[in-house]
Amino acid sequence: MALLHHPFISNNSLARTLPFSPLPHNLTTATRKTSRATVSVAELLIPKTRLKQGRRGSIFCSAVAEVGGGALVDEKEGGGSEDDRVFLGHTLVEEEKGQVGRVEYDWREEWYPLYLTRNIPDDAPLGLTVFDKQLVLYKDGSGVLRCYEDRCPHRLAKLSEGQLIDGKLECLYHGWQFEGDGKCVKIPQLPAGARIPQSACLKTYEVRDSQGVVWAWMSDKNPPDPAKLPWFEHYARPGFQDVSTTHELPYDHSILLENLMDPAHIPISHDRTDWTAKREDAQPLLFKVTERSDRGFAGQWGKERDQGTPNFLQFSAPCVLQNNREIVGKNGEKDYFSALFLCRPTGQGKSMLIVRFGATRRSFLAKLFPKWYFHQNAGKVFEQDMGFLSSQNEVLMREKVPTKELYLNLKSSDTWVSEYRKWMDKVGHGMPYHFGHSTISLPKEPAVVEHAPAGLVAGLSASLPAKGGLGTVHSPNLANRYFRHVVHCKGCRSVIRAFQAWKTALIIMAMASTTLAILVSGRQWKTLLLVLTALFLTGAKLCSSAIAMNTTNFIRHHRRF
């Protein structure tokens, strides 16, 4: 996925940039000072010669030098190999199987992005997951957001398969109803005069609506921590506009975050997807790590050809990645661009991503296209990555070894990937499972497969009443663009309905004009009606193309055999 695939700022604007490194919101001054000191001390204690292990046991010797911002690079010496100057290494501290540098961490003591606020349905519950925890989110009769564990205490049926009755959440299995803080208010089968048992209540989760995104606090031990709720200063700036989309994806959230941190793949994987990605632009990149802490890391990057690092990247626990840029115009006025990625783990081999591209100034070209065009373009980008990211996920699960045993990380492209996996070494013990640079912990629970495969089975599954749709376009299948994005986007659903209505109307008008052309006797009238028929059919074809753009997966030309 492209860090700079954006519909707001043109290439000409991006060429006039200055280095930009604002203070990360989630890294306080005190934390940042402590983090920097801790890293420096740890690195000073490491011998100046280290063992560098390559893939599956290849051992090399190299030296270590500390450069600006605390980043580690290999020092070129007479006896150093080519690998020492090309690949990212690791320190002896990181060889202690994660014992050194581990920090206290509990994945539940965090806020997780659930959904874009504007896309939450007003008349139906919404089933969501965070790791293996299943949630149901809905708006009650007063429009207040409620979030419960997604299971009825009666017989464990999913409440997200239920319905809303007068603002109350009803389980469609036996009609039990719940409201407010999870209290059961109706059991149809209860004998006359009997009280509803107090145990017939739901486990609740705190939710917050912040800057257009609904967040859930997953802890059942401690109250919500407002200081951990992410806040993004660019999205509060006057005149800031964004295009936001939601996508379900068939690979782990750590694979997704890696991909989003990887600007080097953009020219190759997304060649000509839009005007910012060109294959011939693939080149070495420069990276500068400026901050490390228990909550993540931050730094700057840019193209080696430009000898600058104007892009500011920050990863914040547990699942927030942002890439910002400050643009200075000819008149000295500043504009701000932000690519924000909110990555929610939805289970083993699955994730959900909220993408937000925004800026204080839109390019002229971006104003010519409707929002749905950028939504379908984002779907195309994810489909371009999907095949190899899914296979990467499969290899990690099959090999069951840390990434240092498998990856060949280049200094000129993979710095953020290496930083992320090393951060996972620190906190992975506090997650349901993880794959770090030097450590791993495998899932303790088997993966839950709820999605039907494509084809006949998908069509049959989609026809079930609980899934609410007919036909393969609605099939609950992560390889289906409609299911991955459109079902989560009110705007795209309304656009598709509009195109379908126009297509039907145009076909009817084409049939009517053709019939009249047959019946009338004048040549001029026949010609006029046949021209109208051609125009109506052309319009219907354009509507079909627009529908296909929003519902059909992208397939590379060389794969179409």
Residue type, position 149, single letter:
E
Residue given tokens 């580690």 in the structure block: 72
Asked if residue 406 and residue 276 are part of one domain, the reply reads yes
Task: Give SS3 for 4.
Answer: coil
Q: Kindly state whether residues 399 and 298 are assigned to the same domain.
A: yes
Q: What is the pLDDT of residue 329?
A: 79
Give yes or no: residues 364 and 408 share one domain. Answer: yes
Total domains in the fold of the chain: 3
Query: Are 193 and 292 contained in the same domain?
Result: no
- Residues with Cβ within 8 Å of 101's Cβ and at least 6 positions away in sequence, in order, are 42, 93, 94, 425, 426
Q: Is residue 18 part of a domain?
A: no
pLDDT of amino acid 495: 95
Indicate whether 38 belongs to any domain.
no
In a domain, residue 527? The reply is: yes
pLDDT at site 514:
96
**164 plus 237 within the same structural domain:** no
Q: Is there a domain that residue 105 lies in? A: no
Residues 176 and 280 in one domain: no
In terms of domains, do 320 and 413 share one?
yes
Q: Which amino acid is present at 145?
A: L
Residues 130, 242, single domain; the answer is: no
Q: Which residues contact 92 (CB under 8 A, 6 or more apart)?
A: 46, 47, 50, 51
Residue 555: inside a domain:
yes
Q: How far apart are CA 147 and CA 546, in angstroms?
A: 36
Query: Final residue of a domain: which of 217, 240, 265?
Result: 217
Last residue of a domain, one of 192, 217, 242: 217
**Does one domain contain both 244 and 358?**
yes
The number of beta carbons lying within 10 Å of the beta carbon of residue 180 is 15
Instruction: For the chain, give percent helix, strand, coil, nearest 5.
Output: 35, 25, 40
Claim to verify: residue 252 and residue 337 sit in the same structural domain? yes
Q: Which helix (H) or strand (E) holds 42?
A: helix 29-44
Instruction: Give CA–CA dist 341/322, Å, rounded.
Output: 6
User: What's 185's domain CATH number?
Assistant: 2.102.10.10
Same domain, 269 and 416: yes
pLDDT of the chain, 561 residues: tens digit per residue: 544 444 444 444 333 333 333 434 444 433 433 333 333 323 322 333 333 444 554 444 433 333 333 333 344 444 456 666 788 865 544 444 444 578 999 999 999 999 999 999 999 999 999 998 999 999 999 999 999 999 999 999 999 999 999 999 999 999 999 999 999 999 999 999 899 999 999 999 999 999 999 999 999 899 999 999 999 999 999 889 999 999 999 899 999 999 999 999 999 999 988 777 889 999 999 999 999 999 999 999 999 998 889 999 999 999 999 999 998 878 888 889 999 999 999 999 899 999 999 999 887 777 888 999 999 999 999 999 988 898 898 999 999 999 999 999 999 999 999 999 999 999 999 999 999 999 999 998 877 665 444 444 444 444 443 333 444 555 566 667 888 899 899 999 999 999 999 999 999 999 999 999 999 989 999 999 999 999 999 999 999 999 999 988 888 777 655
Residue 287 and residue 432 share a domain? yes
Q: 298 lies in which domain range? A: 232-441
